[in-house]
């Protein structure tokens, strides 16, 4: 198993970035140095897997987020209210101060009728309408996951619901946290940074450099196999997955350090190739995911 084995102080520090930031934000809220901000989490045209991934976070967990860090106002998967009462909780924030987290792309077909997220005053509220309304007014917009960031699998060819990433519909800056799903640390760390210091340093694709600055390939524990030309011919082998179609050489994110689910494992640690799920162009430009016949 791949328990954190890093003796490298740089890796160790990066591993702790998210939890250090989150604990600082929680302390600052407790000491009233910063405001406890309102958080809206919109699930749009996607699989609603990013909220599940957030629940998988543990340093600290969802309870700390919802009780000590933010006023969690709205999320379709978790809120107790239903129907128009739920919609009212969302619309009550119109004109107020809030941070907006969005998962899922936005379906634009038929004026957005391919994804309705609720009904209010006898009218359907489409994902399209919701992102326009709440996206422009938010103090900060965070795209959580690959669909919200760039369309992702919801926009895969032939894109039947005509999906786009949320930036396409907003005339303001969106912080993008691609990944299918988004790692809970990436979201929690970014949110804490925004609350403490404002916008984090971003790359040219609007991703926070603190999580998205390094190619998987450059810090992959199997890199020595690549350098020596020792390649796996099928999943399950312990060498370099490059010839199976591994997208580590083009994917910029910290999976090899951070790993997943209490840091027990990650795709390459599972003897399978990276499929570039955190990359612009996923999935169409990252396929085939697995192929046995690449030279």
Measured in whole angstroms, the distance separating CA 138 from the mean position of its chain's CA atoms is: 18
Can residue 10 be called a binding residue for other proteins (CB under 8 A)? no
Q: Between residues 192 and 275, which has the closer beta carbon with respect to other proteins?
A: 275
Q: What are phi and psi of 284, to 5 degrees?
A: -55, -40
Identify the CA nearest to 38 among candidates 94, 86, 105.
Answer: 94
Gap between the Cα atoms of 11 and 18, Å rounded = 13
For other proteins, the binding residues in 44-63 under the rule CB under 8 A are 45-53, 55-58, 61-63
- CA angle at 98 for the pair 120 and 141, rounded to the nearest 5°: 95
For other proteins, the binding residues in 153-192 under the rule CB under 8 A are 153-154, 156-161, 163, 180-181
16, 129, 132, 271: which one binds other proteins (CB under 8 A)? 271
Asked if 19 contacts 25 with a C-beta cutoff of 8 angstroms, the reply is no
3-state secondary structure of 13: helix
Name the burial class of residue 228, with classes exposed (0-12), middle (13-18) and buried (19+) by CB atoms within 10 angstroms of its CB.
Answer: exposed
Q: Between residues 124 and 224, which has the closer beta carbon with respect to other proteins?
A: 124
For other proteins, the binding residues in 56-115 under the rule CB under 8 A are 56-58, 61-63, 66-67, 71-87, 89, 107, 110, 113-115
Identify the CA nearest to 183 among candidates 55, 69, 275, 2.
Answer: 55
130: its two tokens: 């919701």
- Cβ at position 129, least distance to other proteins in Å: 13
Asked if 60 contacts 23 with a C-beta cutoff of 8 angstroms, the reply is yes
Torsion of CA 179, 184, 185, 187, to 10 degrees: 70
Tokens 């910290």 belong to residue:
254
For other proteins, the binding residues in 222-251 under the rule CB under 8 A are 233-237
- Cβ at position 183, least distance to other proteins in Å: 9
Q: Between residues 109 and 223, which has the closer beta carbon with respect to other proteins?
A: 109
- Cβ at position 218, least distance to other proteins in Å: 20
- Cβ at position 222, least distance to other proteins in Å: 13
Considering only the stretches 25-33, 129-137, 189-197, 267-275, report the one whose residues sit in contact with other proteins under the rule CB under 8 A: 267-275
- Cβ at position 15, least distance to other proteins in Å: 16
Binding residues for other proteins, rule CB under 8 A, total 86
- Cβ at position 190, least distance to other proteins in Å: 19
Measured in whole angstroms, the distance separating CA 179 from the mean position of its chain's CA atoms is: 5
Considering only the stretches 11-19, 185-193, 216-224, 268-276, report the one whose residues sit in contact with other proteins under the rule CB under 8 A: 268-276
End-to-end CA distance of the chain: 30
Q: Between residues 200 and 256, which has the closer beta carbon with respect to other proteins?
A: 256
């Amino acid at each position: 198993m791949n328990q954190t084995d890093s003796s490298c102080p740089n890796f160790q520090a990066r591993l702790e970035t998210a939890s250090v930031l989150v604990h600082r934000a929680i302390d600052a809220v407790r000491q009233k140095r910063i405001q406890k901000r309102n958080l809206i989490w919109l699930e749009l045209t996607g699989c609603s897997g990013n909220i599940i991934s957030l629940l998988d976070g543990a340093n600290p967990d969802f309870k700390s987020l919802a009780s000590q860090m933010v006023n969690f106002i709205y999320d379709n998967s978790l809120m107790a209210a239903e129907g128009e009462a739920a919609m009212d909780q969302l619309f009550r924030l119109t004109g107020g101060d809030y941070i907006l987290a969005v998962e899922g792309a936005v379906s634009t077909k038929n004026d957005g009728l391919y994804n309705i997220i609720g009904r209010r005053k006898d009218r359907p509220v489409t994902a399209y309408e919701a992102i326009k309304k709440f996206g422009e007014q938010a103090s900060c917009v965070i795209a959580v996951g690959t669909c919200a960031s760039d369309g992702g699998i919801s926009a895969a060819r032939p894109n039947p619901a005509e999906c786009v990433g949320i930036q396409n519909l907003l005339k303001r800056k969106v912080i993008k946290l691609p990944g299918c799903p988004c790692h809970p640390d990436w979201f929690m760390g970014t949110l804490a940074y925004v609350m403490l210091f404002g916008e984090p340093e971003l790359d040219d694709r609007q991703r926070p450099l603190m999580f998205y600055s390094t190619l998987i390939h450059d810090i992959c524990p199997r890199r020595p196999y690549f350098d020596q030309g020792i390649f796996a011919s099928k999943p399950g082998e312990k060498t370099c997955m490059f010839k199976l179609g591994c997208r580590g050489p083009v994917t910029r994110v910290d999976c090899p350090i951070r790993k997943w689910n209490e840091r027990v494992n990650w795709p390459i640690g599972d003897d399978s190739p990276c499929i570039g799920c955190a990359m612009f162009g996923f999935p169409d430009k990252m396929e085939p995911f697995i192929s046995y016949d690449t030279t």
